[in-house]
Chain A
Amino acid sequence: MGAQVKEQDMTPLLQVNALTKMYGPRIGCKDVSFDLYPGEVMGIVGESGSGKSTLLNAMAGHHAPDQGEVVFDTRVDGPVDTLKMSEPERRMLGRTDWAFVHQHARDGLRMSVSAGGNIGERLMAVGGRHYGEIRTQAADWLGRVEISDSRIDDRPSAFSGGMQQRLQIARNLVTGPRLVFMDEPTGGLDVSVQARLLDLLRSLVREMGLSAIIVTHDLAVVRLLADRLMVMKDGHVVESGLTDQVLDDPQHAYTQLLVSSVLQV
Chain B
Amino acid sequence: MDDYNFAYLDEQTKRMIRRAILKGLAVPGYQVPFASREMPMPYGWGTGGVQVSAATLTPKDTLKVIDQGADDTTNAVSIRKFFERTAGVATTEETTKASIIQTRHRIPEADLTEDQILVYQVPIPEPLRFLEPRETETRKMHSLEEYGLMHVKLYEDISQHGDIATSYAYPVKVEDRYVMDPSPIPKFDNPKLEMAAIQLFGAGREQRIYAVPPYTKVVSLDFEDYPFEASKADHPCDLCGSEHSYLDEVILDDAGNRMFVCSDTDYCRSRRAEGHVGRLGDSEGEAA
Contact B156 A132 (CB under 8 A): no
Say whether chain B's binding surface is mostly helix, strand, loop, or mixed.
Answer: helix
B residues near A129, Cβ cutoff 8 Å: 151, 223-224
Is B155 part of the contact surface with A, judged by Cβ < 8 Å?
yes
- Complex alpha-carbon distance, A149 and B225, angstroms: 21
Whose C-beta in chain A lies nearest to the C-beta of B223?
A: A131
Is B158 part of the contact surface with A, judged by Cβ < 8 Å?
yes
Q: Which of B142-150, B181-189, B202-210, B230-238 contacts A (4 or more CB under 8 A)?
A: B142-150
Is B152 part of the contact surface with A, judged by Cβ < 8 Å?
yes
Contact A117 B224 (CB under 8 A): no
Contact A110 B152 (CB under 8 A): yes
Is A135 part of the contact surface with B, judged by Cβ < 8 Å?
yes
- Complex alpha-carbon distance, A27 and B148, angstroms: 37
Contact A116 B159 (CB under 8 A): yes
A residues near B156, Cβ cutoff 8 Å: 113-114, 117
Contact B224 A121 (CB under 8 A): no
Chain B interface bracket (under 10, 10 to 19, 20 to 34, 35 or more): 10 to 19
Contact A117 B155 (CB under 8 A): yes
Interface set, chain A 131-177, CB cutoff 8 A to B: 131-132, 134-135, 152-153
- Complex alpha-carbon distance, A126 and B146, angstroms: 9
Contact A124 B159 (CB under 8 A): no
A residues near B226, Cβ cutoff 8 Å: 131
B residues near A110, Cβ cutoff 8 Å: 131, 152
Whose C-beta in chain B lies nearest to the C-beta of A86?
A: B144
A residues near B149, Cβ cutoff 8 Å: 121, 124-125
Contact B152 A120 (CB under 8 A): yes
Interface set, chain B 142-199, CB cutoff 8 A to A: 144, 146, 148-149, 151-152, 155-156, 158-160
Q: A88-B144, A91-B144, A131-B226 are in contact. Are A152 and B159 (CB under 8 A)?
A: yes
Whose C-beta in chain B lies nearest to the C-beta of A153?
A: B159
Interface residues of A (CB under 8 A from B): 87-88, 91, 110, 113-114, 116-117, 120-122, 124-126, 128-132, 134-135, 152-153
21 contacts between A and B (CB under 8 A): A91-B144, A113-B131, A113-B156, A114-B160, A116-B159, A117-B155, A120-B152, A120-B155, A121-B148, A122-B148, A124-B148, A125-B148, A126-B148, A128-B151, A129-B223, A129-B224, A130-B224, A130-B225, A131-B223, A131-B224, A134-B155
Counting from the closest, the 10 A-B pairs by CB-CB distance are A125-B148, A124-B151, A131-B223, A124-B148, A130-B224, A88-B144, A117-B152, A117-B155, A117-B156, A121-B152
Interface residues of B (CB under 8 A from A): 131, 144, 146, 148-149, 151-152, 155-156, 158-160, 223-226
